């Protein structure tokens, strides 16, 4: 840490901030500001697919028709037409909820923070996948969470290793079943059912984070955990009332635009009531203007059409990255083949450490995130997260070539040393 | 609390949420949604003064010229041109800071929350004014703060009562020197100097909250505490480097528009470094789009011109409320005469309780916030907060008439009972 001048403020930090370090990813992203670096490090949507015209039209409409409301304070729960739209969205996912089950948040990162504040006492153990979403660890470290983990394989969380962890009584289970960040994995239907069944048996609440669910490039949509939980209620498949064992996090960041900061939580009414209290203290409400603009831009079928276009663009980029990896990665490397989302997860041959490789990679103008960042209890040194949504296919091809060469060089001395 | 269905989530709330109740003000505001109610309860800017054309033009410019950046993720610290603009603003307030001293927040409510997360351990005592801003208490209750208080008189914090409280070692002192919410008071220069001197002597950091500082309707601008603190550094008056004993909170909510949710903190670099970590976990960053739109709308002199117009409108409304109070309030009531801001503070005759009066007031279609809400350690039953920015002069006149009649009725039986 930089050597700052001391002030009366600086020796009084709360103990919860001890050992808290800045996000490895965000610090790394600063290095990748160099325009010559081909970055697979961020989790950025491609700006080429941002619906500028639609947002422009939405801004004009909102200001012309509801300008005074759009610039005023508004309710903590969120803009009602937006929450109603999100209910209709959830219904297509097989779950019946009302606006009383929905809280609009300032990105789904805020939902993670509010849930942490609501649920986590110092020392509580949260059960996560290993690896897991770094932002969740960041949000919860402020509440002094501890962790239990279940490892991923190429199909996601290994449900056969889950029961032992559930037995030790975690506060809740946090999981990304679709197109995992960072793992790129998708949990098969059988594992989803088994997971919900086990969690239900042990009374463990599930927090389902689904930022990428609509971005599927192959295969069939799988039911969300919140839907499977609703099925357990015994209602007919056509009308699953929300049951509340699973809370669901969604976001418009990957389908509309992250710069608007619109996410949402679906939760039991009693939890929403408490989360609203937390959010009142945290930021009063999410910007009225961006909520209204997001609603105007998204509703009435536009978002579905737009998501189709994003799928085409990102699907092509995923294919480009898979092809480039086949071509340029040395033997002994392997990687996940994501059915959707923004990321894949590559593992290097035995003996290599992606955390050491990153510096040489940056010299060669290619960036990734070392895998160890995503493990709350350590591990992952041989792995890395590669984003394929941000760069176009040509850049992907060139970036993977550079990356393959860096890895190759690190392998070479070993091969020489072993006659 | 409503009787909600239990779920695995609902019996697992963190202990920090015990006894936390929804904001009295926000619950009250729901009742005032009735369009016939004349509400002095909110802290709402007048929508008539929102600069719709300027925001409209700013949106178009941002989307046309920087649309892809505006809709993308951005840095946690905030949009650099906006932070540079805020530095220039602070320089006019007599304080030299760099963008490294400025963090853009999602309204200044978020700054209060992040500072709470950074500074407050369970049980830490925060020194506030009594009454004080309710949103600060709400933000900090989640971190289990306790409170010490210094009472206000008609000139604000009573500095002759301050030293005893500083001696007992509060974590920091939170104060609103200008046009106090809810008190409507303005701390005179002599008290400002004494306060900074005392806090400095006891090593107590000061958090200066200044949402209304530019909205002065009479008298001369007084130096901010952060400026007085800088003077103590001994530098020439023309160039006061930021010293760091005082952190400063500002907002565009009262000068541009609250629906954009743009606030800022000025703090020592080492504190900003930590607050950025907190904000990463809390919401990654404030909406890129609203930051850019706020900058485009505000910079280049527009905000100054616009603030002049707001001053005229609100100054007239303040005068209307003071005149109406003179005319309609029964003998024995008194109230502060704010030099600026949005609120004044009225005190009822002995024996009346504003918390009981509010129900009858709502029946008579007039609303205020009972004073007790603003006291962290109790008190204030005879007082009420009246907002004068939201209603036009005619509504103010009529609302105060209704309020006077309600108070009159409550006084009358007593006067009969005493022969």
| pLDDT (tens place) for every residue of chain A, 419 residues total | 344 566 778 778 887 776 555 556 566 667 777 889 999 998 899 999 999 999 999 999 999 999 999 999 999 999 999 999 999 999 988 888 999 999 999 999 999 999 999 999 999 999 999 999 999 999 998 899 999 999 999 999 999 999 999 999 999 999 999 999 999 999 999 999 999 999 999 999 999 999 999 999 999 999 999 999 988 765 554 556 677 899 999 999 999 999 999 999 999 999 999 999 999 999 999 999 999 999 999 999 999 999 999 999 999 999 999 999 999 999 999 999 999 999 999 999 999 999 999 999 999 999 999 999 999 999 999 999 999 999 999 999 999 999 999 999 988 665 555 54
Q: Domain holding A401: CATH number?
A: 3.90.1150.10
Please report whether residue B56 resides in a domain.
Answer: no
Q: Long-range contacts: B324-327, Cβ < 8 Å, 24+?
A: B324/B396, B324/B397, B324/B399, B324/B400, B324/B401, B325/B400, B327/B400, B327/B401, B327/B404
Short-list B57, B73, B181, CA closest to B128: B181
Mutation target among A3, A8, A63, A122 for the B interface, most CBs of B within 10 A: A8
**Nearest-angstrom CA–CA distance, B376 and B378:** 6
Contact state of A13 with B141 under an 8 Å Cβ cutoff: no
Higher pLDDT, A354 or B5: A354
**Nearest CB partner across the interface for A71, out of B22, B55, B200:** B55
Chain segment B137-181, per-residue pLDDT in tens: 999 988 999 999 999 999 999 999 999 999 999 999 999 999 999
**Nearest-angstrom CA–CA distance, A238 and B303:** 54
User: Closest residue of B to A115, CA-based?
Assistant: B13
- Cβ of B78 under 8 Å from any chain A Cβ? no
Tell me how crowded residue A278 is: count the other CB atoms within 10 A of its CB.
24
User: In DSSP terms, which residues pair with A38 in a beta bridge?
Assistant: A366
Contact state of B73 with A44 under an 8 Å Cβ cutoff: yes
**Nearest-angstrom CA–CA distance, B395 and B402:** 10
- Cβ of A24 under 8 Å from any chain B Cβ? no
- Cβ of B8 under 8 Å from any chain A Cβ? yes
Short-list A385, A348, A392, A359, CA closest to A370: A385
Which domain range does residue B379 map to?
15-50+304-411
Q: Which residues of B touch A68 (CB under 8 A)?
A: 47-48, 50, 52
Q: Which residues of A touch B245 (CB under 8 A)?
A: 7-9
- Cβ of A284 under 8 Å from any chain B Cβ? yes
Instruction: Determine the distance in angstroms separating the CA of B415 from the nearest CA of chain A, rounded to an integer.
Output: 42
**Nearest-angstrom CA–CA distance, A333 and A357:** 14
Pairing of the two strands B156-157 and B263-266: unpaired
Residues A259 and A341 in one domain: no
Q: What pLDDT sits at residue B237?
A: 46
pLDDT of residue B207 exceeding 50: yes
Residues B364 and B296 in one domain: no
User: In DSSP terms, which residues pair with B334 in a beta bridge?
Assistant: B347
Cβ burial of B379 (10 Å; 0-12, 13-18, 19+) is middle
Q: Which residues of B touch A56 (CB under 8 A)?
A: 59-60, 63-64, 67
- pTM, entire model: 0.94
Number of domains in chain A: 2
Higher pLDDT, B15 or B217: B217
Chosen domain end from A269, A301, A333: A301
CB A93, CB A226: distance < 8 Å: yes
pLDDT of residue B243 exceeding 80: no
CB A31, CB A362: distance < 8 Å: yes
Local structure of A63: helix, strand or coil: helix
Please report whether residue B239 resides in a domain.
Answer: yes
**Nearest CB partner across the interface for B44, out of A48, A72, A261:** A72
**Nearest CB partner across the interface for A277, out of B20, B69, B112:** B20
pLDDT of residue B339 exceeding 50: yes
Residues B281 and B358 in one domain: no
- Cβ of A70 under 8 Å from any chain B Cβ? yes
**Nearest CB partner across the interface for B244, out of A5, A22, A124:** A5
Q: Which residues of A touch B287 (CB under 8 A)?
A: 106, 259-261, 287, 290
Residues A258 and A272 in one domain: yes
CB A265, CB A78: distance < 8 Å: no
Instruction: Determine the distance in angstroms separating the CA of B90 from the nearest CA of chain A, rounded to an integer.
Output: 19
Please report whether residue A59 resides in a domain.
Answer: no
Please report whether residue A355 resides in a domain.
Answer: yes
Contact state of B203 with A8 under an 8 Å Cβ cutoff: yes
Contact state of A271 with B69 under an 8 Å Cβ cutoff: no
Q: Which residues of B touch A52 (CB under 8 A)?
A: 63, 67-68, 71
Q: Which residues of B touch A106 (CB under 8 A)?
A: 106, 283, 286-287
Residues B120 and B225 in one domain: yes
Tell me how crowded residue A138 is: count the other CB atoms within 10 A of its CB.
26
User: Closest residue of A to B17, CA-based?
Assistant: A118
Q: Which residues of B touch A61 (CB under 8 A)?
A: none
Instruction: Determine the distance in angstroms separating the CA of B3 from the nearest CA of chain A, rounded to an integer.
Output: 8
Q: Is A284 left (phi over 0), alpha (psi -120 to 50) or beta?
A: left
Cβ burial of B278 (10 Å; 0-12, 13-18, 19+) is buried
Please report whether residue A337 resides in a domain.
Answer: yes
Lowest mean pLDDT among A22-31, B35-44, B262-271: A22-31
Instruction: Kindly state the average pLDDT of the residues B296-321.
Output: 97
Average pLDDT, chain B: 91
Assign 3-class secondary structure to A153-207: ECCEECHHHHHHHHHCCCCCEEECCCCCCCCCCCCCHHHHHHHHHHHHHCCCCEE
- Cβ of A74 under 8 Å from any chain B Cβ? yes
Residues A288 and A276 in one domain: yes
**Nearest-angstrom CA–CA distance, B20 and B122:** 15
Instruction: Determine the distance in angstroms separating the CA of B137 from the nearest CA of chain A, rounded to an integer.
Output: 8
**Nearest-angstrom CA–CA distance, B87 and B177:** 20
**A112's tokens:** 């993670």
Chain segment B139-149, per-residue pLDDT in tens: 998 899 999 99
Please report whether residue B60 resides in a domain.
Answer: no
Residues B289 and B195 in one domain: yes
CA of A310: how far to CAs of A49, A260, A342, B282, in Å? 6, 18, 11, 28
pLDDT of residue B24 exceeding 70: no
Contact state of A118 with B269 under an 8 Å Cβ cutoff: no
Mutation target among A1, A6, A7 for the B interface, most CBs of B within 10 A: A7
Tell me how crowded residue A416 is: count the other CB atoms within 10 A of its CB.
8
**Nearest-angstrom CA–CA distance, B28 and B170:** 32
Residues A269 and A308 in one domain: no
CB A286, CB B25: distance < 8 Å: no
Scanning A169-208 for CB atoms below 8 A from B yields 171-172, 200, 203-205
As a whole number of Å, the end-to-end CA separation of chain B is 44
Residues B186 and B83 in one domain: yes
Scanning B42-61 for CB atoms below 8 A from A yields 42-45, 47-48, 50, 52, 55-56, 59-60
Instruction: Determine the distance in angstroms separating the CA of A415 from the nearest CA of chain B, rounded to an integer.
Output: 42
Short-list B347, B368, B378, B326, CA closest to B130: B378
Instruction: Determine the distance in angstroms separating the CA of A329 from the nearest CA of chain B, rounded to an integer.
Output: 30
Chosen domain end from B301, B316, B345: B301
Residues B39 and B80 in one domain: no
Q: What pLDDT sits at residue A10?
A: 79
- Cβ of A121 under 8 Å from any chain B Cβ? yes
Chosen domain end from A262, A285, A301: A301
Q: Which residues of B touch A271 (CB under 8 A)?
A: 7, 9-10
**Nearest CB partner across the interface for A270, out of B4, B43, B140:** B4
Q: Which residues of B touch A71 (CB under 8 A)?
A: 47, 50, 52, 55, 257-260
Lowest mean pLDDT among A214-228, A399-413, B23-37, B52-66: B23-37
User: Closest residue of B to A133, CA-based?
Assistant: B281
Burial A202-215 (b: 16+ CB within 10 A, else e): bebbbbbbbbbbbb
Inter-chain Cβ pairs, chain A and chain B, closer than 8 A = 321
Please report whether residue B65 resides in a domain.
Answer: no
Residues B151 and B270 in one domain: yes
Instruction: Kindly state the average pLDDT of the residues B372-394.
Output: 96
Short-list B131, B144, B220, CA closest to B175: B131
Instruction: Determine the distance in angstroms separating the CA of B183 from the nearest CA of chain A, rounded to an integer.
Output: 21
Q: Which residues of A touch B21 (CB under 8 A)?
A: 277
Computed over its alpha carbons, how large is the radius of gyration of chain B?
22
**Nearest CB partner across the interface for B14, out of A4, A110, A120:** A120
User: Closest residue of B to A270, CA-based?
Assistant: B4
Question: What would the DSSP string read from start to end of B325-374?
Answer: HHHHSPTT-EE---SBSSEEEEE--TT--HHHHHHHHHHTTEE-EEGGGG
Mutation target among A12, A13, A122, A244 for the B interface, most CBs of B within 10 A: A12
Q: Which residues of B touch A4 (CB under 8 A)?
A: 268-270, 273
**Phi, psi dihedrals of residue A145, rounded to the nearest 5°:** -70, 150
Local structure of B416: helix, strand or coil: helix
Burial B13-22 (b: 16+ CB within 10 A, else e): bbebbeebeb
Name the helix (H) or strand (E) containing A275.
Answer: helix A269-283
- Angle, helices B107-119 vs B269-283, to 10°: value is 110
CB B384, CB B348: distance < 8 Å: yes
Please report whether residue A4 resides in a domain.
Answer: no
User: Closest residue of B to A135, CA-based?
Assistant: B281
- A192 HSE (CA, 13 A, CB side): 22
Contact state of A72 with B276 under an 8 Å Cβ cutoff: no
Residues B318 and B385 in one domain: yes
Instruction: Kindly state the average pLDDT of the residues B318-342.
Output: 97
Q: Domain holding A257: CATH number?
A: 3.40.640.10
């Amino acid at each position: 840490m930089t050597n700052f001048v001391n002030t009366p403020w600086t020796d009084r930090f709360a103990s919860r901030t001890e050992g808290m370090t800045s996000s490895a990813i965000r610090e790394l992203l600063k290095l990748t500001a160099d325009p010559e670096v081909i970055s697979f490090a961020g989790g950025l949507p491609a700006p080429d697919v941002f619906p500028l015209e639609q947002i422009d039209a939405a801004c004009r409409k909102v200001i012309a028709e509801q300008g005074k409301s759009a610039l005023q304070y508004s309710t903590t729960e969120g803009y009602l037409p937006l929450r109603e739209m999100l209910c209709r969205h959830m219904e297509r996912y097989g779950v019946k909820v009302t606006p009383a089950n929905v809280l609009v948040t300032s990105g789904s990162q805020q939902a993670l923070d509010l849930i942490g504040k609501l649920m986590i006492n110092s020392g509580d153990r949260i059960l996560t996948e290993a690896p897991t979403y770094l932002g969740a660890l960041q949000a919860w470290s402020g509440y002094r969470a501890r962790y239990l983990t279940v490892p991923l394989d190429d199909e996601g969380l290994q449900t056969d290793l889950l029961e032992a962890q559930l037995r030790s009584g975690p506060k809740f289970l946090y999981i990304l079943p679709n197109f995992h960040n960072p793992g790129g994995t998708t949990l098969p239907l059988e594992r989803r059912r088994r997971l919900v069944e086990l969690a239900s048996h042990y009374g463990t609440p599930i927090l389902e984070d689904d930022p990428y669910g609509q971005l599927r490039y192959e295969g069939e949509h799988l039911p969300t955990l919140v839907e499977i939980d609703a099925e357990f209620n015994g209602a007919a498949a056509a009308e699953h009332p929300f049951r509340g064992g699973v809370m669901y996090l969604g976001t418009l960041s990957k389908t509309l635009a992250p710069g608007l900061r619109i996410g949402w939580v679906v939760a039991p009414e009693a939890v929403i009531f408490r989360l609203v209290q937390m959010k009142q203290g945290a930021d009063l409400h999410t910007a009225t203007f961006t909520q209204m603009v997001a609603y105007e831009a998204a509703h009435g079928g536009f978002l579905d059409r737009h998501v189709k276009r994003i799928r085409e663009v990102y699907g092509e980029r995923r294919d480009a990255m898979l092809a480039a990896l086949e071509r340029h990665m040395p033997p002994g490397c392997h990687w996940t083949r994501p059915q959707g989302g923004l990321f894949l997860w590559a593992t290097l041959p035995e003996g290599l450490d992606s955390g050491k490789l990153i510096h040489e990679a940056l010299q060669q103008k290619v960036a990734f995130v070392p895998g160890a960042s995503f493990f709350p209890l350590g591990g992952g040194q041989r792995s890395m997260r590669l984003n394929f949504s941000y760069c176009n296919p040509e850049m992907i091809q060139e970036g993977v070539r550079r990356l393959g060469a860096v890895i190759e060089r690190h392998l070479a001395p070993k091969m020489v040393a072993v006659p």
